[in-house]
């Protein structure tokens, strides 16, 4: 597996992650894929590896992991199982929000157990009529008699089926806020909102769900941060989220390439290894080019993030290219494997499905194109 200038410390961490994945994760994947379930018992161990809140400062309960190292870690998750990468990043979204804007009481009650891998969380942004346009959210929270009253629906919520706590973004109405977006902590055990599981083609183990809120009451103190601050906070976090998806896609593409290289050196047809055929070699070369280019774009964005630079263009381009390239690589890998590639007993089928999923969340391919165009030209094509 090719890498870009890993330090000795990064290489040691990567090797440790590989050993953990091979021993604890890989043996579980097939059974969970068939059952569409997730092994939450792994989360405390992932926390010890730095996967939960790892980029936070040590004062906030993290490890102070830099962004290039984090990008490498995301690639390793994607290499082994994109559903795992997704669940880790969904958890980290809530961790970062509470760490940055939560009260001391919220950090003690929610952040500490999430960091330890003992509390399951989700984030409710997307709605039936709201996808890429976060500003169009219609779920509302009204302050009534010292409580927030939530009404609305959230759709395609990753881990929504399993979550103990949901971070819900809603349009807020109170004496201090007239319809701007805020974030609320909603405990499933106390709020009793509706949950409907959604089976999807991609990322089958991530507990995707629809959430329904019908006069759901939550304590006033469950507001995260100030009223009306959720839109800017959410948009600010999208750059890192897009990098996470990009590097997970790189890992999945590298896995498909590695499996293909191994296969073409063993499979024989017409009395020859199929790796000796020119068109098979073209597939391998095309896959390698895409993986290497996607990794370079992702690591470039990671270094820019670490340096505190404006990374909207870099992260959008990284996600745009890496997610499309990963699915192209998976498609070529399936072609190289022939009928074996269709089998649910072999990873290529899963990688093919899951890489298709990267082109939708945190802004679709089309949205990434428009963001990059705006940054390059200085002309906004988004209405």
Residue 292 is among the residues annotated as catalytic for this protein: no
Over the stretch 126-184, which tens digit does the pLDDT of each residue have? 999 988 888 899 999 999 999 999 999 999 999 999 999 999 999 999 999 999 999 99
**151 and 201 belong to one structural domain:** yes
Q: pLDDT band at 383, cuts 50/70/90?
A: low
Q: Which domain holds residue 129?
A: 121-230
CATH number of 196's domain: 2.40.110.10
Burial profile 143-156: b = 16 or more Cβ within 10 angstroms, e = fewer: beeeebbbbbbbbb
CATH number of 344's domain: 1.20.140.10
End-of-domain residue from the set 115, 145, 177: 115
- Of 187, 362, 366, 375, the catalytic one is 362
Q: Would residue 294 count as lying in a domain?
A: yes
Specify the pairing of strand 165-173 against strand 194-197.
unpaired
Give pTM, 2 decimals.
0.95
What's the average model confidence in pLDDT over 185-201? 96
CA angle 242, 231, 131 (to 5 degrees): 60
Residue 265, token pair as written in the block: 């050196």
Q: Strand ranges (DSSP E) for the chain?
A: 121-124, 140-144, 147-157, 165-173, 178-187, 194-197, 209-219, 223-224, 268-269, 272-273
Q: Would residue 16 count as lying in a domain?
A: yes
Residues 41, 265: Cα–Cα separation, whole Å: 37
Q: Tell me the β-bridge partners of 218.
A: 148
Residues 16, 48: Cα–Cα separation, whole Å: 12
**185 and 265 belong to one structural domain:** no
**317 and 355 belong to one structural domain:** yes
End-of-domain residue from the set 203, 230, 257: 230
Q: Would residue 2 count as lying in a domain?
A: no
Q: Would residue 62 count as lying in a domain?
A: yes
pLDDT at 2: 52
Look at the chain and report how many structural domains it folds into: 3
**208 and 94 belong to one structural domain:** no
pLDDT at 1: 42
């Amino acid at each position: 597996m090719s890498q870009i200038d890993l330090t000795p410390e990064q290489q040691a961490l990567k090797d440790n992650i590989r050993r953990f994945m091979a021993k604890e994760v890989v043996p579980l994947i097939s059974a969970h894929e068939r059952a569409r379930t997730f092994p939450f018992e792994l989360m405390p161990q992932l926390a010890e590896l730095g996967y939960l809140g790892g980029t936070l400062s040590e004062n906030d309960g993290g490890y102070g992991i830099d962004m290039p190292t984090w990008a490498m870690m995301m690639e390793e998750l994607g290499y082994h199982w994109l559903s795992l990468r997704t669940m880790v990043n969904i958890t980290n979204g809530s961790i970062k929000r509470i760490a940055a804007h939560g009260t001391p009481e919220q950090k003690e009650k929610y952040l500490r157990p999430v960091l330890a891998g003992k509390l399951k969380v989700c984030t409710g942004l997307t709605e039936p009529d709201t996808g890429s346009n976060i500003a169009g959210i219609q779920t509302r929270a009204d302050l009534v008699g010292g409580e927030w009253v939530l009404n609305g629906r959230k759709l395609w919520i990753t881990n929504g089926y399993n979550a103990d706590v949901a971070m819900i973004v809603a349009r807020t109405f109170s004496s201090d806020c007239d319809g701007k977006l805020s974030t609320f902590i909603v405990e499933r055990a106390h709020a009793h909102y509706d949950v409907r599981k959604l089976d999807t083609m991609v990322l089958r183990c991530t507990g995707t769900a629809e959430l329904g809120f019908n006069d759901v009451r939550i304590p006033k103190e469950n507001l995260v941060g100030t009223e009306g601050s959720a839109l800017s906070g959410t948009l600010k976090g999208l750059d890192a989220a897009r990098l996470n998806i990009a590097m997970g896609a790189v890992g999945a593409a590298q896995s498909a390439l590695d499996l293909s290289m191994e296969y073409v050196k063993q499979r024989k047809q017409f009395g020859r290894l199929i790796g000796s055929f020119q068109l098979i070699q073209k597939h391998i070369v095309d896959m390698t080019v895409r993986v290497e280019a996607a990794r370079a774009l992702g690591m470039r964005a990671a270094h820019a993030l670490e340096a505190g630079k404006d990374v909207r263009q870099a992260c959008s381009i990284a996600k745009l290219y890496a997610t499309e390239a990963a699915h192209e690589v998976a498609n070529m890998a399936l072609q190289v494997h022939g009928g074996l590639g269709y089998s649910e007993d072999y990873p290529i089928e899963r990688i093919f499905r899951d890489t298709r999923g990267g082109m939708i969340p945190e802004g679709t391919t089309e949205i990434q194109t428009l963001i990059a165009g705006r940054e390059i030209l200085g002309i906004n094509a988004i209405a």
